[in-house]
């Protein structure tokens, strides 16, 4: 694909297939073509050769307006319509699709709750009355309003500060798990990519360098470029991708669960959640603990030692 007035292709020689419900992150420095690639999916950018298909239909054969109504679109600049209320913003695509009024009203409240905003408080406000983080939550709600099967996110959290970004990432992960939408997400933030992606597309100069799971990319980088971009030798980074559950020794005799423990017993700082990352357990080890209790749903289901962490790491590398 090439832009007018350009002497080289913005993206070329790319062949990717994405499973339904997958969260795929396009990662690379600015100018690598990741946004262009994303925008070929909803034909905001048209291919000069090749094809993109969604489901089993070639997007090039569809009317771009109709196509876009079935694909969610979130951009870094947010672009909420400033003359419309939050509710009207979210209602844009359902209205274009001529949903019934009552269905739209219900959907608006449902979506505001889903993105973590109190519907009664935010419904009738205008975008300018919201913070940047709140605006992008609405941006996400607006994009998924008509239940698209695919959601495109073009550096959606690039303009918000680190703390807000973390809460927005959590919200998006939650939405991805509840809606099972296929998500394509563009970023140049390596940690964001590792945190969100089922699979990462590492890009350079309009081409794909590697397309694999975060763990595979960190443990088996396909090129020096990938090693450098993701700093794959960073052990801490690798640990952040491994769950405590996968490294622990399960205990077959369950310890008394939380409800049976006496009030006097101090809440053990050596407890760690089964779903948290091994990186999180490091803190506790470094503060002098030898053995951690692994907790799931308030029950202890196993133990974790520093040696277990090292074993898990060795298995990966």
Partner 1 sequence: MSYLVHHLALVGAYTLQHMALVLVSLAIALIIAVPLGIFAAHNRRIATPLLGALGVIYTIPSLALLAILVNYVGLGFWTAVIALVAYAQFLLVRNIATGLREVDPAQIDAATGLGMSPRERFWRVELPLAMPTVLGGIRIAAVTMISLATIAAYINAGGLGVLIFSGLSQAYPEKALAGSLPAAALAILADLVLRSFERRALKSSAS
Size of the residue set binding partner 1 (CB under 8 A) = 26
Binding mask 88-107 for partner 1 (x = CB under 8 A): ----xx--x-----------
CB of 156 to partner 1, least distance (A): 12
Which of 83, 265, 267, 314 forms a contact with partner 1 (CB under 8 A)?
Answer: 83
Stretch that binds partner 1, among 3-11, 65-73, 238-246, 292-300 (CB under 8 A): 65-73
The Cα–Cα gap between 30 and 107 comes to: 36
Which of 16, 55, 57, 66 forms a contact with partner 1 (CB under 8 A)?
Answer: 66
Six-digit token string for 131: 């913070």
Long-range contacts of 309-313 (CB under 8 A, 24+ apart): 309/239, 309/247, 309/278, 309/281, 309/282, 309/285, 311/247, 312/242, 312/246, 312/247, 312/278, 313/235, 313/238, 313/239, 313/242, 313/278
CB of 280 to partner 1, least distance (A): 37
Which of 27, 32, 54, 73 forms a contact with partner 1 (CB under 8 A)?
Answer: 73
Which of 6, 65, 178, 260 forms a contact with partner 1 (CB under 8 A)?
Answer: 65
The Cα–Cα gap between 227 and 312 comes to: 21
The Cα–Cα gap between 129 and 134 comes to: 10
Examine residue 282 and tell whether it contacts partner 1 (CB under 8 A).
no
Closest to partner 1 by CB, 128 or 314: 128
Other C-beta atoms closer than 10 Å to the C-beta of 243 total 15
Closest to partner 1 by CB, 168 or 242: 168
- H/E element, 303: strand 299-305
Sites of contact with partner 1 (CB under 8 A): 42, 44, 65-70, 73, 75, 77-83, 92-93, 96, 127-128, 139, 142-143, 152
């Amino acid at each position: 694909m090439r832009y007018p007035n350009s002497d080289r292709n913005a993206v070329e020689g790319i062949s990717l297939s994405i499973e339904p419900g997958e969260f795929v992150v396009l990662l690379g420095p600015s100018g690598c073509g990741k946004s262009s690639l994303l925008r070929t999916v909803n034909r905001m950018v048209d291919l000069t050769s090749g094809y993109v298909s969604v489901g089993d239909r070639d997007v090039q054969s569809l009317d771009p307006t109709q196509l876009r109504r079935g694909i969610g679109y979130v951009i870094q600049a947010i672009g909420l319509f400033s003359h419309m209320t939050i509710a009207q913003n979210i209602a844009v695509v359902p209205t274009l699709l001529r949903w019934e009024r009552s269905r739209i009203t219900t959907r608006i409240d449902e979506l505001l709750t889903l993105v973590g905003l109190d519907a009664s408080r935010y419904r009738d406000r205008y975008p300018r009355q919201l913070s940047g983080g709140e605006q992008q939550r609405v941006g996400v709600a607006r994009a998924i309003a008509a239940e698209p099967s695919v959601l495109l996110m073009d550096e959606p959290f690039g303009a918000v500060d680190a703390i807000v970004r973390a809460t927005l990432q959590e919200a998006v992960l939650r939405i991805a798990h509840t809606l099972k939408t296929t998500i394509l997400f563009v970023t140049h933030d390596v940690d964001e990519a590792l945190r969100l992606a089922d699979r990462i597309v590492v890009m350079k100069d309009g081409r794909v360098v590697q397309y694999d799971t975060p763990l595979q990319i960190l443990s088996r980088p396909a090129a020096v470029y990938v090693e450098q971009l993701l700093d794959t030798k960073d052990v801490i980074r690798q640990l952040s991708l491994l769950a405590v559950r996968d490294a622990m020794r399960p205990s077959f005799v369950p310890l008394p669960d939380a409800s049976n423990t006496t009030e006097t017993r101090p809440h053990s700082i050596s407890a760690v959640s089964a779903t948290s990352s091994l990186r999180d357990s490091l803190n506790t080890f470094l503060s002098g603990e030898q053995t951690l209790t692994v907790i799931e749903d308030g029950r202890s289901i196993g133990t974790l030692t520093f040696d277990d962490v090292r074993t898990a790491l060795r298995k990966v590398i």
